[in-house]
Structure formats: structure tokens, C-alpha cells
Structure 1
Amino acid sequence: MKVMALDHYYLLGRSGLRVSRLALGTMNFGTGGFHAAYGKTEDEARSIFRRYVDAGGNFIDTADFYTAGESETILGRLIEEAGIRDRMVLTTKFTNSVDPGDPNAGGNGRKAMIRAVEASLRRLRTDYVDLFLLHTWDRITPVEEVLRTFDDLTTAGKIRYAGLSDVPAWYAARAQTLADAHGLAPMVNLQLPYSLVERTIETEHVPAGQTLGLGITAWSPLGSGFLTGKYRNTDQGVAGAGRLTGDGAPVRTWTDQHWELLKTVETVADKLGVTMAQVALNWVATQPCIASAIVGASSPEQLDSSLGALEFELPAELRSALDEASAVPPESVYRMFTPEYQGWLVNPGAKVTDKPAGYRPPVVNWN
């Protein structure tokens, strides 16, 4: 029995927008630009796209930067060909420069934002984008300028909803607070890296999203493929065929905890009769803080395997094992906000879980 399914939809943040629990990432649609090494032709992309749509999926993620714009171009043709534009929740992002010789062709300024959305609309063959995201904080543009432009684009009907990707938690909090205070179009989405090997957003981003109505979508829920189990630890470093060992591999350190975590993921997978990747995806997709997990695919068969992550439930004891194996101890000042610390220092000797008679916690369900 399927515990979840692509055609079971969930509200994105504090909005009425309904999206699938797994979004289709299309960073590999196309063979140009930075992502060319693992890009797919239009025919290859079509089979992946159709498999996702036929399964009931409605949430598509791309960006103007992906495969030098080819991802958007291919998506535009595929959606038009299928005649399903209104059914799709189409997401694209801006920030990265598409013209290195022009200082205003990238970043988060108003000129760049408007130029980016107009170009994306042309490539996507549509007159509106459902969700338009700031791709990366540029450290320069005032947040007020970004918000006003988002609001103007919403009023003009060129975007339906606005959101943020890869920004500091304080920036997301400031943006949403200013939008609320001035009656501007609110942010409904916060797109961030999240997986069993990358849980640091739980420190601030997750509480910010839950408090301020920002539905969190998780990119790289498989940790760039690490959690599939196809890599191994050797004296020469990471070994195995894939993105973590080829040219342009992500620069990061894989610790002893990460390799021990893989053993736990493998044990859970064996007990449930599923793959390690399905365990990792299921864990992310069913986290209370996550609205949707973004999955890419190199073939329809690989996508089918990812969709299989929705077909089982993680028993409480196995989820606890994964939680423990992947836990990130709080650092610095964040240690002061743990129940253990506050129980010891703020209210020594008291049962910190006691509640006054009649107390009821606030009901917040932003997904």
C-alpha cells in the first residue's frame, strides 16, 4: 500500500498552492553549460518528464542557469507538447549570470530580476511562472529591492508566488517579516540542501520556515548520490563511479560519521526490502518540516526507483536509528537552546516538560 503518492498534494508554505511530495528536478535537461557532463537530450528528457507527469506529479523545478538555459527551453517544449501548462506548478530561479560581460546580467537587483523572468518566460513558452525563486543571496542587493520587484512581478501576473533558495536564515526571516509588515507578496518557499548527510538547516532555517510560513523544499536529498551506497571509502579517498569522483565533484569532507551512517542506511534498507536511496528519500520526504523533496533522474527507470520511496513507511525504531546516526550536535551558542541545556541551567531541578493546566500548543501546519 502506498503511504504517499505523487497525486497526493500538499500546501506549500502559508499558501493555497498544492504540490507533489516529490518535485522533478531538471538540472540535467539539456547538454550545454556547466551541467553538460551529465546532461540529457530532449528525447531523453521527454521520457523522464512523461513518467513523472503520468504518475501524477505536478511540481517542476528548473533555473535559468541550468544547462545554459536549455533546461527551460526543453521544459517549455515538453509542457506545450503535452498541453498541461495549467496543471503544472512550474518553478524557476534567477541570480547566476547568463552573460559574464554584463554586470547587470546576474545578481538579485531589480534590473537582473526583470530581465531574468522575461527571458525565462520566453524559453518556457508561457506567460507566467508559478513559483519564482531568488537562487542565491548575492550579499549586495537590499532585501527591500528584491521584495518590491517580487511584488511588482506578482501584480503584473508574470509570477504567481515568490520564494527564496540558498539564503541565510536571517535573510529569509527579514524578507518575510518586511513583506508581512508592508503588505507585499509573501515568500511561500525556501529551497535548501537537506538530507541525512546535510541536516544543518535544522538549526535556524527550519524553525524560521515553520514560524513564518515558508514551505521548505529539499534539494540534493541523496547527498549528491552519497546515500545511494555506490561509493566506498579508500586510502585514496572516495571511490566509485558518479558525481562525487568525477571532474567538478563537490568539495566536501566525508567523515567517519558519514561512512558509519551509510551502514545504518544499508541496514534499514535490508530490513524493509528497499534500496538505500529509497530509505534516504523517504526520510527527507516525511520530515515534518519538508513540503517537497526535489529528485532528478537520468532515466525513467531511475525515476521509478525514486518514486518507490513513497510506497512504504519508516517504522519509528528505524527512523530513530537514522536520526541518531545522522544527528548534527549543536555548536556554539546553539547549545544553549537545547532542552538539555535549558533544563540544567535555566530551570535546574524542574521538569522542563511540565505544562500549566489547560495548556495547548499552537496548531501550526505549514507543511
Structure 2
Amino acid sequence: MIEKTTTRPPMPRVTLGRTGLETSRLSIGTWGFGTGSAPAAQQNDDQVLIDVLTAAFEAGVTFIDSAEAYDNEQRLGRLLSQVETPSDLIISTKFGHGRGFSADDFRRSAERSLAQLHLEQIPIMMVHDPRDDDDMDTILGPGGALEGLRKLQDEGLVAHIGVATATLSPLQRAVDTGEFDFLQIARLYTLLNPAAKTSGLLAAAREKGMAVCNASPFGGNILATGTANPHALYTYRPALPEVREAVQRMEARCEELGITIAEAAMSYSLTQPDIDVTIVGVTSTRELGWDLDALKVTTTRDEIESIARAGEIDPALLGGPTFRTAWPADRVPEN
């Protein structure tokens, strides 16, 4: 299991906004548990994942994040049946991601997730990856996802609802509607990209009583591996030279402060008061141990902010200002 070379503090807990649900501030993301993930993120050994889940629960994690697009839920349900799960375990799932945003689509997905995850009710179900106003019009309109989710709530099959995407404008619109309980952001609050805060999204969500979950605090690899890895990735594709240079500047500041870039990346998310839960994709107990180590980091928030400032980069190089993609249209790297 996890090597306990140092004492870690207890797992911090949080109440998820107006949902009233209480859970751990750290969540295990299960993208790598399925075949829908990037090859570099996949773990195909069941026993390794059983060990990960067991160690996470022993460390106080009570939140698991999934999605139909990960193609993992049948496996996840089977693995969870083989470990001792917390009595207050929360499993969130998502649907959409190019597979449809209609009420009927969500009905079928919810029924599938309930069966595969062996649940009587989905604690949190999110609309997955809307990219633009057309998507949101479908979601919010007659016969759309919101209508379907409301019916599922009325029937007791879904408890709380949200929107999950890495594209800024649909998240802003979701907040403005006041219809959703939960936001899951991805790549929009990292040492490289603080857009969720600078755009006012986090503050607006907090004003509405929404919970916010931050996925991909490592930006899809490079803020975990650092630039010593010649194959460092941003969102699991080769990082642009400007991104590598920005991370190198942050690494230099990290060295001055006696902290690793991975610890800084985790701390940047964990110490942001407007983020409730940080999701980490974990495929080994060793990786989990590194993530848990961030809980004992004593670097101040001001110092963590100084690391981010050292790596300031033009948001356009990360796909800004909308972040519909992670790169400028003319700079998409080859796999």
C-alpha cells in the first residue's frame, strides 16, 4: 500500500454547497480505469486499482468521479464490490461528451450507470462537455438534458445535478441559470491557467451556493512530471515549447521554496477557498501517495501564488479565451 514515510494530516472535509453533501476535499478520478482515456493514463491491472481504492478509502477519500464516456463504470462497479467502501461514499457520473444532450439520452445513461455502479440513486449526475451556446440551448431547452435530469430527480434516481466541461462559456451560462448544484471544471484552474478565477466563474458559482470540483490540477501530465521528462504532456499531448518554458520558470521558483512542482500544483487547487474538491486521476498507490503528500505542504498561499506568477503565459497558448480546445487552432501538436 502507500509508503508512510511521513505523517499526513487528516483528510480535510467539505460541504458541497447547497447540496448539503459532506465529503473529502480530495477525489479519485477514474478516467484511467476505462478504455476511454488516453493510453498514458490507463491502468489495466484490476489488483492495482483495488489497491488504489483501498488505500484511498483508508486515507479518508469519500468521493469517486466517473463518466459514461470513460467506458469504465461496469469495471468500477465490480472493483468497488471487492473493497470496503466508506458508508458516506459519493460517486458522481457524467453524460454527454458527443453522445447527446437530450432527456432521453440522459434517461438511458442514468439507468445504465445505476445498474453498472450498483446504486439505487446517483448522488451527482452532470452534463458532460458542452462546448458552446448551441449545446447549452439543447441542454436547457424542451426535451433537453435539464428536463430529463429534473424528471430523474423527481423519481429519486438522481440526487443533485451539474455541468462538467473544460470550456469556459458553458460553465458561465450554467452558473447564470441558477439551475445546477455543481460545477466540475477541467484545466481551468491550474498553475498554468487560472481562468476559472480571473474570469469571475468561481466567485459567481460561490454566490449561487454551487459546489465546485476541480479536475486536472496537473494540466494533463506536465505539472506532475515536470519538464525533466522529455516527453512531458499538456492534456496528454506533447506540450508546446512555450508551455515547457513556463513550467521551467515555475520549477525554478519551486526549488527556491523547497517544494516540487507536483506538490505546488496540488496545493494551488487545495488551498483555493472557492474550490471544494480536487480530482486526481490515480492509477497506482505510488501516485496516490504523492497526491496525499500535498496535504502536508506548509508553503503559504502567497508563496504558491508566486510560483504561478513565475509561469505566467499567454492564455491563447492554452486555448484561451474560451478554452474550447487546449491549444491555438494553428498549434495543435501531433500525437
Q: Mapping of 1:184-333 within 5 angstroms? A: 186-193=180-187, 194-202=189-197, 203-231=199-227, 240-241=230-231, 243=233, 249-250=236-237, 253-255=240-242, 259-269=245-255, 271-272=257-258, 274-327=259-312
What is residue 160 of structure 1 aligned with on the other side?
159
Indicate which of 108, 113, 134 corresponds to 2:106.
113
Q: What residue identity is the alignment partner of 1:262? A: Q
Distance 1:330 1:86 in 2: 42
Distance 1:27 1:187 in 2: 22
Asked if the contact 2:125–2:158 (Cα under 8 Å) also holds between the matched residues in 1, the reply is yes
What is residue 364 of structure 1 aligned with on the other side?
none
Q: Mapping of 1:74-85 within 5 angstroms? A: 74-84=75-85
Q: What residue identity is the alignment partner of 1:228? A: A
What displacement does 1:132 show?
Answer: 0.6
Q: What residue identity is the alignment partner of 2:66? A: T
Unaligned runs of 5+ residues in structure 1 are: 98-105, 181-185, 233-238, 332-367
What displacement does 1:155 show?
Answer: 1.7
Relative distance call for 1:28 and 1:167 in structure 2 (3 A) is: closer
CA RMSD, Structure 1 to Structure 2 (Å): 2.9
Instruction: Compare CA radii of gyration and give the structure with the larger one.
Output: 1
Asked if the contact 2:27–2:278 (Cα under 8 Å) also holds between the matched residues in 1, the reply is yes
1:25 maps onto 2:10 in alignment: no
Distance 2:300 2:166 in 1: 33
1:88 maps onto 2:73 in alignment: no
Distance 1:86 1:11 in 2: 16
Asked if the contact 2:50–2:82 (Cα under 8 Å) also holds between the matched residues in 1, the reply is no
What is residue 129 of structure 1 aligned with on the other side?
122
Percent identity (aligned): 23
What displacement does 1:135 show?
Answer: 0.9
Q: What residue identity is the alignment partner of 2:230? A: G
Distance 2:41 2:173 in 1: 37
Normalising by structure 2, report the TM-score: 0.79
Q: Deviations over 1:107-155 (max 9, x none)?
A: 1111111111111112112222111111111634141432222211112
Q: Specify the SS of the correspondent of 1:24.
A: strand
Unaligned runs of 5+ residues in structure 2 are: 1-5, 317-335
